[in-house]
Structure 1
């Protein structure tokens, strides 16, 4: 399953956000974060593929979504208590822009218009991820013969 197109951010907000970016890269198979960990940064993928997964007791982690160029990796940094709600790992080599969450939150607080723009962007991403997770769960239950309503 591939993520829906990344929600667009206003160009002026994107320019302000990019002032806080640093370039990073990850080899294939690198965990970016684990479910339950402290959400202190986030990424926007430049090249490569990242999967989002959730821990399922007694099973291997379940992949919820696959992200690629232009996609936001991580939204838990935006909402207290700043704990990752899923895990993420690179599937292929990844180049990304990395952002320090505290710096971005401070810029949002200092510039309410920027904060509103970031909030709308992240909110749209959360809505898309929730939809993708729902579809993935429906696929899993249908494959397991669950048959019941979610």
Structure 2
């Protein structure tokens, strides 16, 4: 993931401070599922330590790992867009410490303050674009006859 998609790089200090007023510290053991594809997306996380694998359900197979995320990265963007359902699943691949945010509270903050709302929307949009690219490359690697090749 590019640095432009981490919270620190994407949000101005004043917006980070506002957002962090809604954060709570959580931890996950290695192997813990953080969320499942298709279920309600009611929160998101910023990784403090550890790694999280984003995966895609593949019928008759193990979930395909699309991307592994670490320090400073946003886990989950589906909370930002109706119908608020996870598009992927996520599993802690090592012990994870993270800041967790209640999606409804963050959306309310964004409505109340259009400046932070725009900043969060641009940040989440960048993350979605990056994840879409990573998903495309990974799925081509897994399922295309000759792999993804050089898509950049």
What's the TM-score once normalised by structure 2's chain length? 0.90
**After superposition, where does 1:72-87 map in structure 2 within 5 Å?**
72-87=74-89
Residue segments in structure 1 that go unaligned for 5+ positions in a row: none
**Equivalent-residue separation in structure 1 for 2:62 and 2:4 (angstroms):** 27
Tell me, yes or no, if structure 1 residue 136 matches structure 2 residue 134. no
| Count of aligned pairs between the two proteins | 144
Q: Which residue of 2 aligns with 1:28?
A: 30
| Helix, strand or coil at the partner of 1:44 | strand
Q: Which residue of 2 aligns with 1:42?
A: 44
Q: Quote the offset at 1:146 in angstroms.
A: 6.2
Over residues 79-137 of structure 1, what are the superposed CA-to-partner deviations in whole Å (9 max), with x where a residue is unaligned? Answer: 00100000001000000000000000000010011100000010000011011111101
**Equivalent-residue separation in structure 2 for 1:132 and 1:37 (angstroms):** 22
Q: Which residue of 1 aligns with 2:18?
A: 16
**Equivalent-residue separation in structure 1 for 2:89 and 2:116 (angstroms):** 27
Stretch of structure 1 that moved more, 10-19 or 97-106? 10-19
| Helix, strand or coil at the partner of 1:88 | strand
Residue segments in structure 2 that go unaligned for 5+ positions in a row: 148-152
**Equivalent-residue separation in structure 1 for 2:131 and 2:4 (angstroms):** 10
Tell me, yes or no, if structure 1 residue 111 matches structure 2 residue 113. yes
| Helix, strand or coil at the partner of 2:138 | helix
Return structure 1 stretches of 4+ with deviation > 6 angstroms.
Answer: none
What's the TM-score once normalised by structure 1's chain length? 0.91
